[in-house]
Amino acid sequence: MRIYLAPMEGLLDCVLRDILTRVGGVDRCVSEFIRVTHTLLTERTFLRVMPELLNGGYTPSGVPVRAQLLGSDPVSMAENAARLAELGPHGIDLNFGCPAKVVNRHGGGAALLQDPELLTRIVSAVRRAVPKDMPVSAKMRLGFNDDSLAVECAQALAAGGAEELVVHARTKADAYRPPAYWERVNDIRLAVNIPVVANGEIWTVDDARRCRAASGCDSVMLGRGIVTDPGLALAIRRALVQPQGADAQTANAEAAADEADSAAAPLVPWVDILPLLGAFWLLVVQRLERRQQAGRLKQWLNFMRNRYPEAQAAYDALRTLHDPAQVTQLLRRLGALGGELLQKE
């Protein structure tokens, strides 16, 4: 079993990848999409989305990151993939799942699931353009307006040379509304000869268990669930990865106890989340424009308040604040920060 961290535009960026991989349990990340049109992107553009390229393609805690490209022109995608490959990501991932209207309107993301033949041409062009030892994978939804082409699209991606396929178990029309149709991922898994990873609506260990059973997939990709509960990957790993050797029975008993406890409380307690919140804020101040900083912190707290009562209290206290200096002062009072920003203030 492998657990991947999903790419989510405007949410799971390099800052949150850094923080969430510090917690543990994640085997690989995928960057936010890098939009490809009809120009050859600069190295600076790639680095802005995926600064891990300056660290051998790893997050600071050592988790490999695969770079994701989004576009619809096979030639441009291939040319940009070749340049990106020179920077050393741990693979190239291709986005065929983004549901954003602005992306779909220009023929990118999930809109491509209406044209299986074009899917094959894009993947084939990228596969030919990058070194043979550079993995090429793809992420898709079940379809655009419906899932009638789900299997055909998956087969088209595999035929083009994709070595792994992540399937978000909803169509573009479904957006992020529950449920996720994990059983349709199983139909795809049975129709292709490459590894398939299930994604969508995994918020708890029990969701992960049911997803694996319905999809037949060993591995899962986590998105909003791990943003809400940063310890989710660890909890899934403890509960669902089978221990080996003489200590297996003890380890299984401990995992069962962990799972029972995590149904009522997160595996990572709030006291351990606080320093992560402080580290997140330091990175936000370093990387984002001043006008964006407070909103970015509120965004993460808005997710976590569904799992942590303390996050709800912090969110309520921050909700009306916009001045980064005031945010810093509040985080100090909460115990998330020491004197790290005193000089800048």
CB 261 within 8 A of CB 268: no
Contact 75, 38 (CB under 8 A): no
Please give the backbone phi and psi of residue 214, each rounded to the nearest 5 degrees, phi first: -75, -35
Report the C-alpha gap between 52 and 192 in whole angstroms. Answer: 32
CB 169 within 8 A of CB 196: no
Tell me how far apart the alpha carbons of residues 138 and 98 are, in angstroms, rounded to a whole number.
12
* Measured distance between the N- and C-terminal CA atoms of the chain, rounded to whole angstroms: 46
Cα 202–141–105 angle (5° rounding)?
125
Distance between CA atoms of 323 and 327, rounded to whole angstroms?
A: 6
CA 34 from chain centre, in angstroms, equals: 14
Candidate list 14, 98, 211, 217, residue with the active-site label:
98
- In whole angstroms, what is the distance from residue 30 CA to residue 221 CA? 10
Place of tokens 């178990």: 169
Per-residue tokens: 274:
């606080």
Tokens of 288: 């984002």
Task: Classify the phi-psi angles of 56: left when phi > 0, otherwise alpha if psi is within -120 to 50, otherwise beta.
Answer: left
Q: CA–CA separation, 296 vs 291, rounded Å?
A: 10
Q: Is 184:142 a contact under the CB 8 Å cutoff?
A: yes
The answer to whether 153 is a known catalytic residue is no
**Residues designated catalytic:** 98
